Amino acid sequence: MRAILCHDIVGLDGLTLGEIADPVAGPGQVRIAVAAAGVNFADSLMITGRYQEKPPLPFVPGLEVAGRIDALGDGVMGLEVGQRVLATVDHGGFAELAVAPAGDVVRLPDQLDEVAAAGFAIAYGTALGALDWRAGLRPGERLLVHGAAGGVGLAAVEVGRAMGAEVTATARGEEKLAVAMERGAVGTVDSETPDLAAKLKEMSGGRGFDVVFDPVGGAVFDASLRAIAWGGRIVLVGFASGKVPQIPANILLVKNAAALGFYWGSYRSRDPQRLQAGFAALFDWHRSGLIRPHVSQVLPLDRSAEAIGLLLDRRSTGKVVIKIRD
C-alpha cells in the first residue's frame, strides 16, 4: 500500500511517500480502507520527536481516519466489513490502510461524509471533553475560546454555543475572526491586540470569563489569567504558541479560579465508554445542525507534508484533510 513515512524526526523534510506492506488486523483490531485522514498539530510534534508518543522509525504519521472497514481481527464484535467508520490511531493514518483497536472505531451516521469525519474525532472530542467533563460549562456562562479559527478552537466555539454559553473568540486577523463569528461567536478579539487582557475584560463587560478554552498557551494564557472571572476555569488543551505557561498560583488563589489540563486521547484507554457517549451527543448535534465541521483544505496523500505545513504556518481554518481515496 502507499503511505507517508517518517524516516527521521527532523520535521517535514523527514517525510516521503512510499510503498509498504499492508497491515494486518490482529485480535481485537479493525483494518480500515482509509478514504481520508485528518491533520493535527500533534502530527507536527510527532515528526519532530516532541509528542508524548514516540513510535520507532520509520513510522506512518496520522492520528485520525475515516473510511470503510476492510477486515476484522479475531474477537471483534458489533462491527462489520463494509461499514463506514471513523477511528483514532496512535499513528498510521496517512496510508491507504490503517489498523485501529475496535474500541477506537465509531460507526458514522449517514449524514457525515468521510472528508468531514476524518477531522471530526479529535477536534470535537477535545472540545466536548474540555468544556463539559473538565470545565463543567453551564448554559448562560461566558466562554472565551483562543485559537478559535483552528480545528479544535472552532469546534469549541460550536460546542460552547450548543451547550448554551455566550462565546467570545480570539484569533489572528479579521478573516479568521469572521470564521469564528460565522460559527457562533458573539464577539471577537484579535489575539495580537495590544494589552489583550484589558480588551478581554472589556469584552466581558468587566465581569471576566467563566471558562477559558486554551489550545495556544503563551501570551494569551497570561491574558486569560487577568480576564478570568471569580470562580472561573481555564482549560489547557495544547500549546500551539510553543510556550508552556508558568502559572502564578496567587492569581488562582485570589480569584478562586482553576487551571485544568485536558488530553482527550488519554480517555481512549482510561474511560472509553465516556468517549462513545460523547460521540453520540456530538452526532446528535451534527444531525440537528448545531455543529458543522469546517474543512478549509483537502490535499492528496502525496502532499501530506504540505498539509502539515498549512497548520504550522497558520494558513488554514478549521481542519485540513488528506484525501486518500473516493
Q: DSSP characters for 173-218?
A: SHHHHHHHHHTT-SEEEETT-SSHHHHHHHHTTTS-EEEEEESS-H
In terms of Cα–Cα distance, which of 224, 244, 279, 253 is closest to 103? 279
Question: What confidence score (pLDDT) does residue 213 get?
Answer: 98
Cα four-point dihedral sign 139, 234, 123, 136? negative
Question: What confidence score (pLDDT) does residue 166 get?
Answer: 97
At residue 112, φ and ψ (nearest 5 deg) are -105, 115
What are the Cα distances from residue 223, in Å, to 69, 199, 233, 241, 248?
46, 9, 14, 14, 12
Per-block mean pLDDT, blocks of 10 residues, the chain (326 long): 97 96 97 98 94 93 98 96 97 98 96 96 98 98 97 97 97 94 95 93 93 96 95 96 91 96 94 94 96 96 97 93 93
- Grid coordinates 472589556 are at which residue? 202
Please name the helix (run of DSSP H) or strand (run of DSSP E) that holds residue 79, with its range, or none.
Answer: none
pTM for the full predicted model: 0.95
Contact of 155 with 179, CB cutoff 8 Å: no
CA 321/CA 304 separation, integer angstroms: 9
Residue 218 CB neighbour total at 10 angstroms = 17
Give the three-state DSSP class for 254. Answer: helix
Residues 76-88: tens digit of each pLDDT:
999 999 999 999 9
Question: What confidence score (pLDDT) does residue 52 get?
Answer: 85
Question: What confidence score (pLDDT) does residue 232 get?
Answer: 97
